[in-house]
Structure 1
């Protein structure tokens, strides 16, 4: 009997399938019968495949069978890959695909004309916040696909961007969802820390997937700050806002303290929905003070809820930003916690030259469709070594089409077929 285990993964038995859990956040299901049939065809023996204690069990003793099974699983992993949290199919983007990592909002790199570069290694989220601006999470009604970018490929593109932008950069790990779903998060932080142009590495997170072990690894890798998305200090209200009945607020609060104890600064970033959690602002301030948040940067970054076209729209009151900033200034006066009205200089952010735009609004370009998009009617095309999000299209992968550019803001390109 053979016990097979692959690097950074373990196996689970699911009746007719074997499930490979890869790097905790991804999985792939393989039909037992197909694997058993492959062994029978090649070696003329009948075997039974199962999983136990994380190992793949084959009732035979043959190193060649082990090599065959390993080859079949590894070679077909990308075909069957899915997210453990969204259950959506995952496209694994690597260097051999020649997919540009500039131009698209969901993955890759984003330059908004400052010394901060947004680094997005994956999509998807483990919660479904009722106010989510991009309708993410397990209960999304619009997102149909996820992406994961190979860490070496992501770091290669980051280095090219960093050389253009210069020294003193902040690499900010964020995304349309939860960055800790990225299966190479520790390796990404390590790689960014080794980049001579990077001074600060920060990350947005809801904190749910943090553990003492992961925090220790992130601290050793060089993570400087986590912007922690906690929206209520009341456990039941927090579950409601997160859209998850099993949300464990106490765990996240414990992890906030663990981050600080490990030398990683914490900024609490609650989304304030007036009439629901605005009355908790002072409690957030007191908690941040008590655990020592905000040692190098502000301890709190209250955010005003804003309804977005493709996001979720709870029936709540939207407060104008003028009134929101008045509310923040009154909180500063009442609690003595400053700053609550945040400015770029509080984070060492300043303007830097943009990576030059490759297209202008109204331009018509010939582009090749290379990937499906995240929502119905969306495809991703490439031209001039940039990605273009093509909307309202029925084009298929491999087709070349003419696209009219309708948006170029911050180097994120959106086009429509003509």
Structure 2
């Protein structure tokens, strides 16, 4: 009997299927029958396969068969890879694909003209917040697939950006979703901590995927701050806002305290929807004080709910202007003594830095190659001049050479439409 287990993974039994769970957040399902037939064709024997205690058991003592099955699984992994939480197909982006990591909003790097660089290693979310600006999560109606960027390739591009931007950078790990779903999150923090241009490493998170072990690993790797998305301190209301029935608020609150105890600063970051959770503002402040949040940076980052064209915009939400929102925050400061609540870039050590030069001008028509399918219907991703372009209203296919009119260049995020 051979017991097979691949690095950073385990197997699960799903009836006729064998599931490989790789690095907590990625899965691939293999038919038992296909594995057995592949062995039979190669070796003219008929061992059976099953799963036990996370191992793949093969009824043979032939080590050549063990190596063959490991190779079979790894070689078929790319085509079967899916996100464990969204169940969407995953495209794994690596250096051999020659896909630029600047220009697209969903993955890669984003420079908004400061010393903070957004680092996005993956897409997808384990929550389906009712106000999500990008319609993410397991119940998304618009997102078709997910991406994961190889860590070595991501750091190669970060090196290029860091050289342009200079020293004293904040690397901010965020995503169109949950950054903890990035399968190499601890290794990414460690690589950034070792980078000579990085002074601060921060991360957005809803906290659900944290556990004591991961908190310890992130602290040891050098994570400085987590902006923790907690939108209600009432369990029922929290489940409603997060859009997931099994959302465990008590676990997230425990993890908030665990982060602080591990030496990672915490900023509580609720999205305030007036008429729903604005009455909890003082409770958020009290909780932040209780756990010792905000040792180096502000303890709270209240966010004003804003409806978005491609987001989920609940009917019950009542948007207010930012002028009204800031007035509300100032009154909270006066009443509670918690300052600052009206946050400015200098509270985080952020300051302007020259942008990485734009590759395109708005209105320009460029020749581009389609390199990836997009995340929503009618979207494709093309490359030109070592940048990515989100091409909307397109029926092109991967590999096509097309002309694209650039319609948006803000912050080096390029959006274009087919031309001609």
Q: TM-score range by the shorter chain?
A: over 0.9
1:64 paired to 2:69: no
Output the CA distance in 2 between the equivalents of 1:75 and 1:163. 36
Q: Corresponding residue for 1:174?
A: 174
1:332-358 per-residue CA deviation (whole Å, 9 max, x = no partner) reads: 000000000000000000000000000
Q: Corresponding residue for 1:388?
A: 389
Partner SS for 1:180: helix
1:22-65 per-residue CA deviation (whole Å, 9 max, x = no partner) reads: 00100001111111111111111111111110000111110000
Output the CA distance in 2 between the equivalents of 1:26 and 1:175. 16
1:408 paired to 2:404: no
Query: Mapping of 1:160-171 within 5 angstroms?
Result: 160-171=160-171
Q: Corresponding residue for 1:327?
A: 328
Output the CA distance in 1 between the equivalents of 2:318 and 2:9. 46
Partner SS for 2:128: coil
1:337 paired to 2:351: no
Output the CA distance in 2 between the equivalents of 1:290 and 1:46. 62
Partner SS for 1:13: strand
Partner SS for 1:252: helix
Unaligned runs of 5+ in 2: none
Q: Corresponding residue for 1:192?
A: 192
1:208 paired to 2:208: yes
1:71-97 per-residue CA deviation (whole Å, 9 max, x = no partner) reads: 011111111000010000000000110
Output the CA distance in 1 between the equivalents of 2:8 and 2:287. 37
Output the CA distance in 2 between the equivalents of 1:251 and 1:76. 36
Unaligned runs of 5+ in 1: none
Q: Corresponding residue for 1:361?
A: 362
Output the CA distance in 2 between the equivalents of 1:39 and 1:266. 51
Query: Mapping of 1:194-273 within 5 angstroms?
Result: 194-273=194-273
Output the CA distance in 1 between the equivalents of 2:272 and 2:41. 61
Output the CA distance in 2 between the equivalents of 1:311 and 1:402. 29
Query: Mapping of 1:1-80 within 5 angstroms?
Result: 1-80=1-80
Output the CA distance in 2 between the equivalents of 1:12 and 1:211. 21
1:203-246 per-residue CA deviation (whole Å, 9 max, x = no partner) reads: 00000000000000000000000000000000000000000110
Output the CA distance in 2 between the equivalents of 1:275 and 1:4. 54
Any runs of at least 4 consecutive aligned residues in structure 1 with deviations exceeding 6 A, and if so which? none
- How many pairs does the alignment contain? 418
Q: Give the structure-1-normalised TM-score.
A: 1.00
Output the CA distance in 2 between the equivalents of 1:38 and 1:291. 55
Output the CA distance in 2 between the equivalents of 1:124 and 1:328. 31
1:373 paired to 2:374: yes
Partner SS for 2:334: helix
Output the CA distance in 1 between the equivalents of 2:155 and 2:213. 24
Q: Corresponding residue for 1:119?
A: 119
1:168-194 per-residue CA deviation (whole Å, 9 max, x = no partner) reads: 000000010000000000000000001
Q: Corresponding residue for 1:304?
A: 304
Partner SS for 2:352: coil
Query: How far off is 1:317 after superposition?
Result: 0.8
Partner SS for 1:240: helix
Output the CA distance in 1 between the equivalents of 2:354 and 2:398. 34
